[in-house]
Chain A
Amino acid sequence: MPSNLRRRARRLKQRAVSRRIPLRVRFRRGRGRRVRRLFIAFLVLIATLCGSVVVAYKLTVIPKAHPETVTQSTVFLDDKGAYLGRRGPVDRQDVPLAQVPRHVQDAVIAAENRSFRTDTGVSPRAIARAVVATVTGGERQGGSTITQQYVKNALLSPEQSLSRKAREALIAVKLDRTRSKDEILEGYLNTVYFGRGAAGIKAAARNYFDVDPKDLTVSQGAALASIVNIPSYYEKAGSDPKVTAKLRYRWEWVLDAMAASGAISAEQRDGARFPAFRFYPPGATEGQRQYLIDVAAKEAADRLGITEDQLARGGYTVHTTFDLALQDATNELVKEHPGGKGVRMHTAVVAIEPGDGAVRLLYGGSDYARQPFNDAVNGAVEAGTALEPLTRMKLGAPLAQLPTATAPTPLTLASAYAAVAANGRYAAPYTVTKIIRDGRTVHTARPDVRDVLSEKEALVASKLMAGRPLPASPLGLTYPNVFFTGGAGGGITRRTVWSTGYDSQLALTLALFADRPGKHKQEQEQEQGQGQKQKQKQKQKQTSVPAQLPNEPSPASFAEQTVLRIWNEARSDQSR
């Protein structure tokens, strides 16, 4: 190569090397490439996310329902099916979806998750809408679908974290693909919390409106659906005017949604009135109920061969023999006794169906909170002359010991009188007619009858009891066929009074007695050891001794009048 050219080349090279392209230009040149790389990285990230979601979904399993959330309580009903009370840790009873009216289902769907019947378990639209509503302050409809809420309530333990939310969403989608919408809705309605201690629609309908779910009206259904949103706040509806107003606003919104979607007609919408609620906390009814529930629960557990705790958690419905109206009326009548000075009055009333054994009335105390001891079932009451008609008879088992017993329980003596009323046929007293679980009857009562007296002897006993002249009733009350009063003590020193009235359909027995606090029995328990002071315990046991009945009002006449009034109450109930 010629030297001048080489030199030129070198100079050019130098010039080329010395002229560096400025950084900004270089940067601008590489821009396209960088953007491309970023975009690809972004796509890869999205793909990885989707992939991880798919993997997570495949790995998710639907957990079993959390045991705490599916525990039910056992409900007790009286002979007419009226609610008596419940046993169990939570107020929750399952109900099949078929017994929940369609408008109630639609109300819950309209309030919580309008797209429930068509969505896939999670609804991105609902989430977006919830965000918008939160930002703009509109009516709050949560971003969770009903399926998600069900998963949260029933299937997962109640922590709340972001990962829990993600898991909840995955399970919801899987659940939606494996179960029908009706199944999910049924599970939801049976587990969601409605406030007032009630979980599930059946307990809620009772706690708010005292009805079964199948009797809920459109307005009531919409109100319950509105409450689900913030149950611990809305549960005060009816008492707190602010809460009631807010609930009413939400109730209108739910009804509008139902009308818009065609779940209810325009006439139904116009005709809907904001419903009336029960008191919360509810007014006291427990005074008598707990006695009845105690007895019925013990018997039900025995019949089923399970413990009472298992009964309480098992979700049974126990139909009892008790007549709640009669029980309440008796409670009121017995309260009329003014009591005595320095003595505690006790009244025990038992009403049994002769020949059958169903216990219609079992009054053994006025206030369970003060005296859980059931006088009628466990109280030993001196019989005195009350046993006279039976003393000379030979009674078959299980009443064989009765004629010689000094202090039978009112229940035993009442069942003996009932046997006489049934012409010598003894029926073992029972309080549980049937037990139902999951719609299936698991136990039905069968009268356990046996003859303890021959008919002739029964007739003799009857005549003995009915032989006395009957005083006129000042209130014009009817007398039962056989009316008999006896007791221990006499004159002005009566210790107990037994008053009985029966006919072939009902045998009613009342026992009146009194006791007074006895001497304090001191029991010392000394712990073994080095004689440390604090280990020495002193227990003072309160004893009671039988006392004389107060003479004002006359115990016999009070007992008789009360029996007559209860008798007439029972008769009028029957005729109605």
Chain B
Amino acid sequence: MLPTSHDFASHDFASEHLARSQDGRAQDGRSQDGNAQDGRSQDGNAQDGRSQDGTSHTFAVCARNRWPRLVVTAHLLADDLPAAEELVRRTLARVNAGWRRVPRNDVDFHMQRELVRTYLRGQRRPAARRAARWRVVLVLRYWEGRSEAETAQLLGCSTGALRAHAKRALKAAGTDPAGVRKSLARVAADVVPSVVPLDDLHKRAGAWRRRRTAVVATVCAAVLAPAAFFAVERIGDDGASGSSGTSSDMTSGPIRIVAPGERVKAAPGVEVWLTTDGEHWSEPGNPNNFRGISEDGFTETGARAQEEPVDHLRKPTGAEGADGAAPTAEAAEASEAAGKSEGSGKERADTGRPGLSVAGVNANPADGSHFLTGLYYGVDGDPGRVEVRAGGKKMTASVLTLAGSPGWGVWYVSAPLSAADAKLFLAAVEFGAAGGRGGAAGDGGGSVTVYDARGEVLARSGTGE
């Protein structure tokens, strides 16, 4: 059905309706369901209103329709007319503010409920609240004639509670339902019809909406601010977890700590261990090899010195190569030529400056590789890497050192070398013989280089780059 006279003659309709209802009220004041009838008809209108003016279901229209009736009900609840009107204004202001959430097929109920709530909210003391509740029960139940269920819904309690309220209300009023109706009718008769003050309602609704948003905003802020703070701190902590790139070390070689006397299987059949004196190693057929380190840097006069009378001629092999002591060199070369490692005589190395030595070269007959080992010393802290160059190949040696960064340690590597290359290597590293014997051109016999963790050369012994 199309919208008809309801829109055009709204003003007239309202007053007309009010007049009618006033007459009806005067009539129904005596009958029991006059207002109820009006209420129903109004409800009927509301129902029809939905289908009739489906597009313009605005607050204004609905408010205009119900204003008179709400005023009457409010007057029945409140003491005087100004208070009643104020009550209805407040009610409608709230309804307007929350108009979106009011279901359109049940506007009357929600307005009525809002009225009841507003009325009850206005009561301060518990006794007044109880009396107000009774009044509400009487008005809704016996004057408007609503069902138990509906009244309970309007009040927001269960039907059982409502029945209890009703009983007590009637007892307090001292009459029966009919008497209630009579007294209420008398009050209702005093109601003067008025026009719905839409502007005021709009203003109030706006104010109400603003206040509500402000409250919600403060509550949200109060709750979310600590959470945000919490989250920021958490993120702040995790931010540090990205590893800030430190100095990128060169690939460091395998360096291990050993306890004094701890045997390490350095190669098949070869065991290496350290004592505070220096390096020991054992190989098949040659169990007790030793290369010593001395703290003071000089040969001791005394028992030890008698072993190697020419020891003091041995200079540390530094960066510029060594001036080899001839007799020892020859002796070493002779034993080396036999393919065995250096003898078990004890030898010393100087720990004053960074340096290197080769302690042993041992052939592994099984696969033709040679086991090379020696000491490094004079290093501050632990070395990064020891590189061995022999037979044209570059290898990273394994390193062993005692705990506490003593500044010296053992390097060893198993290299696939021919016997000739091994000889050249030994000659180059231990004695600094350049170019090797036999005049092999090119990079010489070999070298051993100690790098620190940053990749800088700490010590080198041998020939070639």
Interface residues of chain A, those whose CB is within 8 Å of chain B, are 1, 5, 8-9, 12-13, 15-16, 21, 25-26, 28-30, 32-33, 82-83, 114, 125, 128-129, 132-133, 138-139, 209-211, 215, 238, 249, 252-253, 255-257, 260, 269-270, 272-279, 282-285, 324-325, 328, 332-333, 335-336, 475-478, 568, 571-572, 575
Please classify how large the interface on chain B is, using the bins under 10, 10 to 19, 20 to 34, 35 or more.
Answer: 35 or more
Cβ of B15 under 8 Å from chain A: no
Q: Are B307 and A475 in contact (CB under 8 A)?
A: yes
Chain A facing B: main interface SS: helix
Q: Does the CB pair B40–A25 fall under 8 Å?
A: no
Q: Are B260 and A82 in contact (CB under 8 A)?
A: yes
Quote the shortest CB–CB distance from A231 to chain B (angstroms).
19
A21, A30, A125, A128 pick with most chain B CB within 10 angstroms: A21
Would you list 15 pairs from A and B whose C-beta atoms are within 8 A, ordered by A residue? Answer: A9-B31, A12-B33, A125-B233, A129-B237, A209-B257, A215-B404, A249-B243, A256-B242, A260-B240, A276-B399, A278-B257, A278-B259, A278-B262, A279-B264, A335-B288
A128 adjacent to B234 (CB under 8 Å):
yes
Query: Which of B64-72, B248-256, B412-420 lies at the interface with chain A?
Result: B248-256
B156 close to chain A: CB less than 8 A: yes
The answer on a CB contact under 8 Å between A30 and B153 is: yes
Of B121-129, B192-200, B273-281, B312-320, the one with at least 4 CB within 8 A of chain A: B273-281
The listed residue with most B CB atoms (<10 A of its CB), out of A276, A285, A478, is A276
Q: Point out the residues of chain B lying under 8 angstroms from A328, CB to CB.
A: 260-261, 275
Give the chain B neighbours of A275 by CB distance below 8 A.
Answer: 382
Minimum C-beta distance from A444 to chain B (A)? 26
The answer, yes or no, to whether B367 is at the interface (CB within 8 Å) is no
Stretch from B101-109, B130-138, B455-463 at the A interface: B101-109
Contacts of B169 in A (CB 8 A): none
Whether A5 contacts B31 in the complex (CB less than 8 A), given A128-B234, A276-B256, A285-B261, comes out as: yes
12 further contact pairs, Cβ within 8 A, besides A12-B36, A270-B247: A8-B37, A29-B113, A30-B153, A256-B241, A272-B246, A273-B453, A274-B249, A276-B257, A278-B257, A278-B258, A278-B262, A328-B261
The 3 closest A-B pairs by CB, nearest first: A210-B403, A283-B262, A260-B240
Report B205-249 CB contacts with A as 1/0, cut-off 8 Å.
000000000000000000000000010011001101111101101
Known: A25-B106, A273-B249, A273-B453. A253 touches B241 (CB 8 A): yes
What is the CB-to-nearest-CB distance from A320 to chain B, in angstroms, rounded to a whole number?
15
A273 and chain B: residue at smallest CB distance: B453
Which of B259, B280, B302, B381 makes the CB contact (< 8 A) with A210? B259
* Bound-complex Cα distance A283 to B40 (A): 101
Whole-angstrom distance between the alpha carbons of A249 and B246 in the complex? Answer: 11
Known: A1-B31, A29-B153. A129 touches B238 (CB 8 A): yes
Point out which of B40, B238, B453 has the most chain A C-beta atoms below 10 A from its C-beta. Answer: B238
Say yes or no for B401: interface residue by CB 8 A criterion: yes
- The CA of A253 and the CA of B306, in the complex, are separated in Å by 55
User: Are A276 and B255 neighbours in the complex by a CB distance under 8 Å?
Assistant: yes
* Bound-complex Cα distance A433 to B246 (A): 48
Residue of chain A at shortest CB distance from B27: A5
Q: Which residues of chain B have C-beta atoms less than 8 A from A30's C-beta?
A: 153
CB distance from A159 to the nearest CB of B (A): 31
Q: Does B7 contact A (CB under 8 A)?
A: no
Pick the most buried of B32, B242, B257: most chain A CB atoms within 10 A of its CB: B257
Is there contact, CB below 8 Å, between A325 and B307? Answer: no
Q: Is the CB of B256 within 8 A of A278?
A: yes
Q: A276-B256, A336-B287 are in contact. Are A575 and B302 (CB under 8 A)?
A: yes
* Minimal beta-carbon separation of A180 from chain B (angstroms): 25
A252 to B123, CA, bound (A): 68
Closest to A124 in B: B230
Question: Does chain A have a CB within 8 A of B176?
Answer: no
Q: What is the chain B residue whose CB lies nearest that of A475?
A: B307
User: Which chain B positions have C-beta within 8 A of A114?
Assistant: 237
Q: Which residues of A contact B149 (CB under 8 A)?
A: 26
Confirm or deny: B150 has a beta carbon within 8 angstroms of a beta carbon on chain A: yes
- Decide yes or no: A9 and B241 within 8 Å by CB, A274-B252, A335-B287 being known contacts: no
A279 touches B33 (CB 8 A): no
A273 in contact with B382 given A114-B237, A128-B234 (CB within 8 Å) = yes
Cα distance A249–B275 in the bound complex, in angstroms:
33
B20 at the interface (CB under 8 A from A): no
Name the residue of chain A whose CB is nearest to the CB of B295.
A576
Whether A572 contacts B304 in the complex (CB less than 8 A), given A210-B259, A285-B262, comes out as yes
What is the bound-complex CA distance between A270 and B105, given in angstroms?
75
CB contacts (< 8 Å) of B32 on chain A: these are 9
B275, closest chain A residue (CB) = A325
- Chain A residues with CB under 8 Å of B273's CB are 283
Of the listed residues B150, B288, B403, B453, the one surrounded by the most CB atoms of chain A closer than 10 A to its CB is B403
Residues of B within 8 A of A475 (CB): 307
Q: Tell me, in angstroms, the Cα distance from A30 to B258 when the chains sit together.
A: 80
| Chain B residues, Cβ within 8 Å of A129 | 234, 237-238
Complex Cα–Cα for A274 and B247 (A):
12
Q: Is the CB of B103 within 8 A of A28?
A: yes
A83 to B259, CA, bound (A): 9
Neighbouring A residues of B106 by C-beta, 8 Å: 25, 28-29
Report the minimal beta-carbon distance from A234 to chain B, rounded to whole angstroms. Answer: 16
Distance (Å) between the CB of A429 and the closest chain B CB?
Answer: 24
Contact B302 A252 (CB under 8 A): no
A211 touches B153 (CB 8 A): no
Interface pair A139/B241, CB less than 8 Å apart:
yes
B202 in contact (CB, < 8 A): no
Most buried by A among B36, B40, B243, B304: B243
- The contact of B263 among A13, A209, A285, A477, by CB within 8 Å, is A285
- Assess whether B441 is interfacial by the CB under 8 Å rule: no
Name the one of A133, A211, A285, A575 contacting B403, with C-beta atoms under 8 angstroms: A211
Contact of B261 among A9, A270, A324, A572 (CB under 8 A): A324
